[in-house]
Amino acid sequence: MADSTTPPLIALQALRKSYNVGTPTEAEVLHGLNLRVQPGEFVALIGPSGSGKSTLLNILGLLERATQGDYLLQGASVQGLNDAELTLRRRRTLGFVFQFHHLLPAFTALENVTLLALMHSGRISAQDEAHARDLLAAVGLAGALHKRPAQLSGGMQQRVAIARALAMNPPLVLADEPTGNLDTASSAEVFALMRRIHAERGTAFIIVTHDPRLAARCDRLVELVDGRIARDVPVVQEAASQTMP
């Protein structure tokens, strides 16, 4: 976790996002958001459909730009960066896990995890491969290195996606409904894996979820309603205080 001298991992200042700017159909979907996320936090982002969650996650992930306001990532504004600079910053700082794993079907699990290193430097070093092997072992897939996605269950595919998200050792992972396409048992396993990675590596997570059970197992809850932050509260971990049988 951060000390008092560490800047927030994320700081949004009066952030606004509009679409179709300057046209009769211009619409503002985020209305002056102020938000801080510290290194090592585990945050649930919730809200009804159309509340702006996906737009906010895209801005946090440097996939879209805010219309007004500022976004500071690790203490530095990203608003003035060009597309190439944003891409480089995204690869160095952020990992992504989606509802659908988006693994390349022709690539093995190991190749999918080393893909970011290949994109970043144009080659895969022995160190990159060893790191990918370690990550796959950490997510319980040491025996599936050379299997392709079609040979893996949905939960296993999502584990590969989590390993891929960690390939560049990002301080922050953004997860968009990461368990939304899984059955109950696989969902619980994948969420438990993210919590373990958070505990062991200090990686910060922001998880968009519609599942109130998962949101209740995060440490902080940020709720968006109509493009505004309606609630930003710590989660009381009632289960943690109960005596185990």
Please report the pLDDT score of residue 241 as a whole number.
Answer: 38
Please report the pLDDT score of residue 242 as a whole number.
Answer: 36
**Nearest of 171, 157, 215 to residue 191 by alpha carbon:** 215
**Sequence-distant (≥ 6) Cβ neighbours of residue 43 within 8 angstroms:** 37, 204, 205, 206, 207, 218, 219, 220, 221, 222
Please report the pLDDT score of residue 14 as a whole number.
Answer: 97
Residue 199 is assigned to a structural domain of this protein: yes
Residue 10 is assigned to a structural domain of this protein: no
Phi, psi of 202 (to 5 degrees): 75, 15
Residue 25 is assigned to a structural domain of this protein: no
Residue 213 is assigned to a structural domain of this protein: yes
Q: What CATH number has the domain bearing residue 44?
A: 3.40.50.300
Residue 80 is assigned to a structural domain of this protein: no
Residue 70 CA from chain centroid, whole number: 20
Please report the pLDDT score of residue 238 as a whole number.
Answer: 47
Residue 74 is assigned to a structural domain of this protein: no
Residue 50 is assigned to a structural domain of this protein: yes
Q: Where are the beta strands (DSSP E) in 20-165?
A: 27-37, 42-46, 68-73, 76-77, 94-98
Beta-bridged to residue 220, according to DSSP, are 43, 234
Identify the helix (H) or strand (E) that includes residue 175: strand 172-176
Side-chain-side CA neighbours of residue 204 (13 Å): 22
Domain range for 199 is 39-59+88-235
Walk along the chain (245 residues) and give the pLDDT tens digit of each residue.
555 578 899 999 999 999 988 899 989 999 999 999 999 999 999 999 889 999 999 999 999 999 999 999 999 999 889 999 998 899 889 999 887 778 899 999 999 999 888 777 777 888 889 989 988 988 888 899 999 999 998 888 888 988 888 888 899 999 988 877 777 887 888 888 889 889 988 999 999 988 888 899 999 999 999 999 999 999 875 444 333 33
Tally the domains of the chain: 1
Residue 64 is assigned to a structural domain of this protein: no
Q: Within 10 Å of residue 28's Cβ, how many Cβ atoms? A: 15
